[in-house]
Structure 1
Amino acid sequence: MNRLRALFTFGTRPEAIKIAPILHACRRYANQIEPIVCSTGQHKEMLQQVTDYFDIESDYDLELMRPNQTLTGLTARCLEGLDSILEQTKPDCLVAQGDTTTVMAASIVAFYRRIPFVHVEAGLRTGNMYSPWPEEFNRRVAGLTTGLHCAPTQRSAENLLREGFDPKSIHVTGNTVIDSLLWALKRERLNADCWDEKYEMLGDRRMTLITGHRRENFGGGFENICRAVAQLATDFPD
């Protein structure tokens, strides 16, 4: 029985977090699926933290990140790099997650090569091409070439239906970030003693993790987030 050769590509931390559960599942079906992993290195430093944590090893690393890179330059390098990987690996399908430049470029290269494209977390829409920018554009472009839309919610599926995509190509799968969360919780529980010692200063207070990583938030945006967090901490001292 020939295994399905599936090429997975990602370039940022969120992509790796959300694609990790699918790669873990591929290991359980190793007799049916041959996963090939390609990292574009769009955000290399942050990406390495996640791939190490989730035990993901890349078969190919394009190392595309450059200092002060432009979207145009990144897109051009991503298109050429992924096209070369497709030429070498000749996969049965190409899988990408989200709405980054990596995803948009992957969808285009897959179309040019006539390789089925699978879009994980498909159908997210704001209706404003410039918010979020350039992600709204990226995911709309990706949708045009997608053969299998994995929508995280019913609302996302309805967005795709309104845009005229074949209902048979749309599947509501849920968001894989939940699978990653459950996987991480299970792993951390195995190190419960270390966890308790590390955060013993919290006592009975609840721990809240807040992250912010969007170009729109630089400057005033992050200041507003910090003010809101400070107010919440005052309102909820526990």
Structure 2
Amino acid sequence: MIVFIYGTTAEAIKIAPVARRLEAAGVPYQHWITQQHTDALRKAIPELGLTPPDRVIANGWRGKPLKSPLQMVGWAFDVVVWAARNMRSLRRELPQGSVVVVHGDTMTTVLGTFIGRRLRVPVAHVEAGLRSGNWRHPFPEELDRRIVGRFADIHYVPSQEAADNLAGRPNVVVTQGNTAKDAVRDAAAAVDELPADDPFGLVLLHRYEFISNPALVRETLQTLDAGTPIPLRLIVDQYSRGAIEQTIDELGLTNFSIMTKLEHGQFVALMKSARFIVTDSGGIQQESAALGVPTLIHRVVTEGREGFGASAVLSGWDQDVVREFLTSYETYRRNDVDAGDSPSDIIVADLFERGLAVPVAGGAVPEGAE
């Protein structure tokens, strides 16, 4: 049995292409959710074509998304208590040959790895091996990756550079990119671009290290408002909305229109149509690179290399870099992005080869996985 353990909308988006390919091959799987994100994750699951969760490990912080380190600690405690209470029954119920699959760099990734180890089944880490080289940026994600890299059994790495970061560890599989590439390509095939006569830039800034720095929030929003040649559509989530909207109101900024998070297909249509994107999200970095949209990554460092040297540039939180991007973004556009191999296909084929993906009667083994 393949068990996906995840807790955020971004994890669900990147796991969904793998789950869809397993389902097409007739392979049963379960997904257990920790709900770091609550309402947004529950809404995203059916929109992504995933079945209802088989197990709900935790429900955020008292039913709401996590917004502070203290809430994170309380939520993590709930996850650990759930695991302790259910471990014996879970070991009895899971068939031999099961595997726990975790994704990325969240606290759920760490706790899912802990659960898999306690279940005494292999743990496979998707998007493994990425490193920024600085444990403080991004925090705590860099630490999460290092912990999971130590304890996972199978490492699905998006690049040779990521594989080199895991040198000496067994079971390192290069997937030729991130599953976000499949997520955005699957969605892009089903959506149309928005009208070209309504140009806009797309902004999504929501990471803890950004939102928790009020001076940086003010400086960045002022720079964007003053320097943009076109209107900006700024997407907020439950965590970032208060800080973003308050700052815009206090500064009297006029070039932003606020939008709440969209269903993934609608968001991909928005990305396809944007003249440029400004974000601190590693997931959006991966998706925008697959589309060739000019993208400014507003972070000090980033562990992923998608888009760099082509459609993406790293700001390092330097406002001069932001200003330069706003005047020259069109030079970063790429209309000839090579689709390349499917990371999700590579992962599914490897699970078959290891005997961890077992189709029910009538299921078809994917080509190349025999």
Quote the offset at 1:94 in angstroms.
0.1
Query: Does 2:32 align with 1:38?
Result: yes
The structure, 1 or 2, with the larger RCO (C-alpha pairs under 8 Å, 6+ apart) is 2
RMSD: 2.4
Query: Does 2:211 align with 1:210?
Result: no
C-alpha change, 1:27 and 1:71, in structure 2 (3 Å) is same
Match of 1:222 among 217, 223, 236: 217
Q: 2:292 aligns to what?
A: none
1:118 alignment partner, SS class:
strand
Match of 1:62 among 45, 57, 61: 57
TM-score by structure 2 length? Answer: 0.54
Q: Supply the AA of the counterpart residue of 2:23.
A: R
Contiguous gaps of at least 5 residues in structure 2: 63-67, 230-326, 331-370
Q: Distance in 1 between matches of 2:153 and 2:226?
A: 46
Quote the offset at 1:64 in angstroms.
2.6
1:38 alignment partner, SS class:
strand
Q: 2:94 aligns to what?
A: 90
Moved over 4 A (4+): none
2:40 alignment partner, SS class:
helix
Q: Which moved more, 1:84-93 or 1:105-114?
A: 84-93
Q: 1:28 aligns to what?
A: 24
Match of 1:184 among 152, 166, 187: 187
Q: Percent identity?
A: 28
Q: Distance in 2 between matches of 1:232 and 1:175?
A: 32
1:210 alignment partner, SS class:
strand
TM-score by structure 1 length? Answer: 0.81
Asked if 2 retains the 8 angstrom alpha-carbon contact of 1:118 and 1:146, the reply is yes
Q: 1:192 aligns to what?
A: none
Equivalent residues, number? 218
Q: Distance in 2 between matches of 1:14 and 1:222?
A: 23
Quote the offset at 1:209 in angstroms.
2.8
1:94 alignment partner, SS class:
strand
Q: Deviations over 1:112-133 (max 9, x none)?
A: 2221000000011122222222
Greater helix share, 1 or 2? 1
Quote the offset at 1:70 in angstroms.
2.8
Q: Which moved more, 1:96-105 or 1:77-86?
A: 77-86
Quote the offset at 1:45 in angstroms.
2.2
C-alpha change, 1:102 and 1:236, in structure 2 (3 Å) is same
Larger radius of gyration: 2
1:149 alignment partner, SS class:
strand
Q: Distance in 2 between matches of 1:170 and 1:159?
A: 10
